Amino acid sequence: MRIEIVVNGDRYVKEVMADLSLLDFLREVLGLTGTKWGCLTGDCGACTVLVDGEPVVSCLQLLRQVEGRDVTTIEGVEHSGELDEVQAAFVANGGAQCGFCTPGMIMSTEALLRANRSPSESQIREALSGNLCRCTGYSKIIDAVLQAAAERA
- pLDDT of res. 104: 97
What fold characterizes domain 2-76? Ubiquitin-like (UB roll) (3.10.20)
For residue range 73-90, what is the model confidence (pLDDT) as tens digits? Answer: 999 998 888 999 999 999
For residue range 117-148, what is the model confidence (pLDDT) as tens digits? Answer: 999 999 999 999 999 998 877 999 999 999 99
Question: What band does 115 get if pLDDT is binned at 50, 70 and 90?
Answer: very high
Asked, colleague to colleague, whether 2-76 and 85-152 share their fold, the answer is no
Q: What is d(CA 81, CA 35) in angstroms, rounded to the nearest whole number?
A: 18
What fold characterizes domain 85-152? DNA polymerase; domain 1 (1.10.150)
Q: Which residues contact 40 (CB under 8 A, 6 or more apart)?
A: 59
- pLDDT of res. 134: 87
Q: Read off φ and ψ for residue 49, nearest 5 degrees.
A: -135, 170
Average pLDDT rounded to a whole number, residues 6-26:
97
- % of the chain at pLDDT higher than 90: 88
Q: Which residues contact 90 (CB under 8 A, 6 or more apart)?
A: 96, 102, 105, 106, 141, 144
- pLDDT of res. 103: 96
117: nearest Cα among 79, 77, 151: 151
- pLDDT of res. 80: 85
- pLDDT of res. 135: 86
- pLDDT of res. 99: 87
- pLDDT of res. 105: 97
Average pLDDT rounded to a whole number, residues 99-111:
96
Q: Where are the domains of the chain?
A: 2-76, 85-152
- pLDDT of res. 98: 86
